[in-house]
Chains A and B, each alone.
With several copies, the nearest count.
Chain A
Amino acid sequence: MQTYPKKRIDIMIEAPLMARVLATLDGNGVTGYTVLQAYAGRGQDGPWHRDGVVGRAGALVQVFCIVDESRMDAVLDSVFEVVSRQIGIVTVSDVEVIRREHF
């Protein structure tokens, strides 16, 4: 089956920041994104667990977004601007998609 190379951007971010990151992606004309809720983790600031957090702060979400390579730099730049002052991990990886029109 014919596949097409794209980039997958993964952004781990604190839940209270989610709306801001999504607005940034919207502003960059990405065709879509998906959010997963993380369950637990540990970083330099110590461990956290979804069931042990009050309110929205503290828990992380993972936003991912499949984009064309041509758009990648613009997206990364503007996402980085949002997450630079907060907890946030951004990774990029290679994927192949089967429907080109979608991205």
Chain B
Amino acid sequence: MDSVLDLAAANLLSPMILFFALGFFASMARSDLSIPEAIAKGLSLYLMMAIGFKGGASVAQFGIDATLLKALAAGVVLSAAMPLIAYRILIATTSLPKVDAAAVAAHYGSISIVTFLAMSEILKSAGIAAEGYMVAVAAAMETPAIMVALWLAHSTGKAPEGKASPRSGGIDPEMVREALLNGSIVVLIGSFAIGCITGEKGLQSIAPFIIDPFKGVLCLFLLDMGLIAGRGLRDGARNLTPGVIAFGLYMPLIGATLGLGSAWLAGLSLGGSALMITLAASASYIAVPAALRLALPEARPAIYLPLSLGVTFPFNLTFGIPLYLALAGLIH
């Protein structure tokens, strides 16, 4: 237990978390600090490219085995199953309308890649190796939750169809294509593939760009995430009831538990398990909101965005990460 607390303290006092906190409190204090959208997008592209490439190069070096398939399958099942659980809990414990409950559920089935990055850095600092293909698992977990949540919203029959044209509701193939080909996933998976192809040699040739400054760039990016999360919470807190906020804090723990089981079933290493738990515990705030605005416009972003960004994301980053690493230790 000692080491969990040590880990937690070390995490809270790392530059990454402190920059996040700086952004968070700057927003709360209504500072005019902001990072231009173009820069934030550029940093995010860089992070996807770097993490994908490194994962691919590591696969090229250590090879793949049956665990890859098991981990992928576990990820997809988790992403599809968690919204069902989340939805039931929300209906039972909060007064959210069904359509909002389905929308929130989708976020918790999907993942936050930044939380994944933060866990990867913690593992790296602690000298714990992880399966390189976990980035592919991360990519695979982004979308299934959206499909399940849409099915929930429409099958429970309460989505107000109104005068909507057929193509603005339901799961149409165009939407699936869009979700699968969204920019971040393409860069992540594409860089992963390039890493696999060019291997250690390719990695060496661009290491001064994608490895050396990585952690510093992540700090700058987390400063921006802190600004956004703080703003989200500041503007959005009044829309969240205590029951909903509580959900944003315990649902990650439920996800983490399921992630732990999946990691164990798939036979992942300590580092891989920590990443799988983190993915399960994390909630989306990019891919899912964008998809839902198109496919489930009745669901209110003013509920799901502050919850995922302003409550769950900071919780995972600060307290979740050391806890999930400790959890992973239970099966190794």
Contacts and interface: CB of A to CB of B under 8 A. Distances in A.
Are A and B interaction partners? yes
Interface of A: 14, 16-17, 20, 45-47, 49-59, 81-82, 84-87
Interface stretch (B185-193, B207-215, B283-291): B283-291
A51 B235 contact: no
B37 interface: yes
Interface string B148-163: 0000000000000011
A46 B301 CA distance: 11
Contact of B228 (A16, A54, A87): A54
A55 B290 contact: yes
A57 B37 contact: no
Contact of B302 (A17, A45, A52, A81): A45
Given A52-B231, A54-B285, A55-B285, A14 B293 contact: yes
Q: Which of B162, B289, B292, B309 has the most CB of A within 10 A?
A: B289
Contacts of A49: 34, 231
B15 interface: no
B74 interface: no
Contacts of B40: 51, 54
Contact of B164 (A17, A45, A56, A84): A84
Given A16-B294, A17-B294, A52 B289 contact: no
B204 interface: no
A51 B293 contact: no
10 contacts: A20-B294, A46-B302, A50-B37, A55-B285, A57-B290, A57-B292, A58-B289, A84-B163, A84-B164, A85-B164
B173 interface: no
Contacts of B228: 52-54
Contact of A55 (B231, B236, B286): B286
B35 interface: yes
B293 A82 contact: no
B102 to A, nearest CB: 15
Residue among A46, A53, A82, A85 with max Cβ neighbours from chain B (10 Å) = A85
Contacts of A57: 286, 289-290, 292-293, 301, 305
Contact of A85 (B32, B168, B236): B168
A75 to B, nearest CB: 15
Contacts, number: 70
Contact of B37 (A46, A51, A81): A51
A53 to B, nearest CB: 7
Contact of B297 (A52, A58, A85): A85
A84 B163 CA distance: 8
A45 to B, nearest CB: 6
A16 B293 contact: yes
B36 interface: yes
A81 B290 contact: no
Given A50-B37, A53-B228, A54-B309, A86 B285 contact: no
A46 B234 CA distance: 11
Contacts of B35: 51
Given A45-B302, A46-B302, A52-B227, A16 B37 contact: no
A82 B293 CA distance: 12
Contact of A46 (B163, B235, B285): B235
B287 A55 contact: yes
Given A57-B305, A84-B163, 18 more contacts: A14-B293, A17-B293, A17-B294, A46-B235, A47-B235, A49-B34, A50-B37, A51-B37, A54-B40, A54-B309, A57-B286, A57-B293, A81-B165, A82-B168, A85-B164, A85-B298, A86-B297, A87-B297
A55 B185 CA distance: 12
Contacts of B305: 57-58
Contacts of A84: 162-164
Contacts of A56: 32, 290
Contacts of A58: 289, 301, 305
Contacts of B291: 16
